[in-house]
Amino acid sequence: MSSRRTKTIAGSLVAASFSAVVILSGTADADEGDTGSSKGGKVIDEAPAGVELTTLLPEKISVDNSSGTTDITATVKNEGTKDSGKTKLLVVGFDGLTVKNVEGCSAIEKGSLPEGSNSGFACSLDNLPAGESKSYAVEATYDLKKAGKICLPVQSADGKKTYWQQGPVPFGTTNPSPDAPATPLLLGTDNEPVAPGADKLPKTGLGRDVLPLGAAGAALIAAGGAGLWWSRLGRPGRARQS
pLDDT 10s digits, 23-45: 333 323 333 344 699 999 999 99
**Displacement of CA 228 from its chain's centroid (Å):** 21
CA 213-91-130 angle, 5° bins? 105
SS3 112: helix
Domain ranges of the chain: 41-240
H/E run at residue 199: none
- pLDDT tens digits, residue range 213-239? 333 333 343 333 334 444 344 444 455
pLDDT of residue 200 exceeding 80: no
32 or 177, greater pLDDT: 177
Q: Mean per-residue pLDDT for 163-184?
A: 93
Q: Mean per-residue pLDDT for 13-24?
A: 39
Q: Say which residues have a Cβ less than 8 Å from residue 106's Cβ, sequence separation at least 6.
A: 121, 122, 123, 124
Report whether 86 contacts 47 (CB < 8 A).
Answer: no
Q: Mean per-residue pLDDT for 199-207?
A: 40
The dihedrals phi and psi of 146, each to the nearest 5 degrees, come to -130, 170
pLDDT of residue 59 exceeding 50: yes
- Supply the pLDDT for residue 240: 54
- pLDDT tens digits, residue range 96-153? 999 999 999 999 999 999 999 999 999 999 999 999 999 999 999 999 999 999 999 9
Q: Say which residues have a Cβ less than 8 Å from residue 84's Cβ, sequence separation at least 6.
A: 47, 48, 51, 53, 78, 125, 127, 128, 129
> Which whole-number Å values give the CA distances from 183 to 29, 63, 141, 177, 199, in the listed order?
27, 5, 12, 6, 17
- Supply the pLDDT for residue 178: 81
- Supply the pLDDT for residue 205: 41
SS3 75: strand
Report whether 173 contacts 184 (CB < 8 A).
Answer: yes
The sign one gets for the Cα dihedral 112, 92, 79, 38 is: negative
- Supply the pLDDT for residue 1: 53
CATH assignment of 41-240? Answer: 2.60.40.10
pLDDT of residue 10 exceeding 70: no
Share the mean pLDDT of the chain.
Answer: 77
Neighbours of 56 (CB within 10 A): 22
Cross-strand pairs, 56: 75
Distance, in Å, from the CA atom of 236 to the CA atom of 242, rounded to the nearest integer, reads 19
- Residue 212's nearest CA partner among 146, 124, 101, 117 is 117
pTM over 0.75: no
Q: Mean per-residue pLDDT for 59-81?
A: 97
